[in-house]
Amino acid sequence: MPSPPCPPGWLAPIERLVLAAARDVRMLAVLTPLDARRERERLVADLRAGRQATPRWTYARDEHDDLRRALDAAERALAREPARSIAALYLGRVRELVLEAALCAAAGTAELARVAAERFASAGGAEAHTASELCALWLAEAAPTSAGPVSESDAATPRSLLSLMRTAVGQAGLPFQVVPALWPRSQRPVSAPSMSPPGGASPTKMRRAPYCTRSKVTRGPGYELLPPVRCSFA
């Protein structure tokens, strides 16, 4: 069989830019409010006391000015290439990263909703309708009658969230090491499992609750954690 054609040489710097942007643009971290737990506790206290509860969310915006200029230049260059070439694949990802970087810059502002709608717009009305139906179904779910015992997420026990996550990642054959970690202070002061690929690359941070019931732990590794892990590294 003939060897597949090599990508053009000019694509290498764009590929490096895409990899760097995917690593540096931490959209979920930036869009998570600072001191969210403390603010939620304040709101709950105000509601219980009969006071007006007005949220005061604060965010650590990341402008990504230089990166956004580089991504804009890459988008213009890729847009000039044939629509059915490999450049089209990079163009789609670059456009996603442009919007994700813009979301980081718009955290806590009125501009966020517009950019988010552009980044996560559905291809058609069917997807939006299905998502709305699923949301309504989840909202209608009855609260469990018994939450069961509560345990630490990273406890050194076979049934902890950390242990089950390690087992699930191993069974899926993913090249990651799962270890307890903390978000850097500049990103968010929350606990998270860290998943590091071999070779010293930056780990993928994933939020966790410090305490979990048995039902949440059982649901977590298979449903909530593995999908984002699979798409974290291209």
The per-residue pLDDT for range 166-191, each reduced to its tens digit, is: 888 888 888 777 777 654 444 443 33
* Separation of alpha carbons 137 and 140, rounded Å: 5
Question: What was the pLDDT predicted at 102?
Answer: 97
Rounded mean pLDDT of 35-56?
92
Sign of CA dihedral 15, 20, 23, 27: negative
pLDDT at position 217 over 60: no
User: 151 φ, ψ to 5°?
Assistant: -135, 160
Buried b (16+ CB within 10 A) or exposed e, 146-156: eeeeebbbbee
pLDDT band for position 21 (50/70/90)? Answer: very high
| pLDDT one-digit tens code per residue, 142-152 | 877 666 677 77
Backbone angles phi, psi at 122, to 5 degrees: -80, 155
Q: Are 90 and 15 in contact (CB under 8 A)?
A: yes
Q: What is residue 196's three-state secondary structure? A: strand
Alpha carbons 203 and 23: distance in angstroms, whole number: 9
- pLDDT tens, residue by residue, 68-91: 999 999 999 999 988 888 889 999
DSSP 8-state assignment for residue 181: E
Residue 87 identity: A
User: Looking at residue 144, what DSSP letter applies?
Assistant: P
Q: Render pLDDT for 115-138 as a digit per residue (tens, 0 to 9).
A: 999 998 876 778 888 888 999 999
- Determine the pLDDT at residue 146: 61
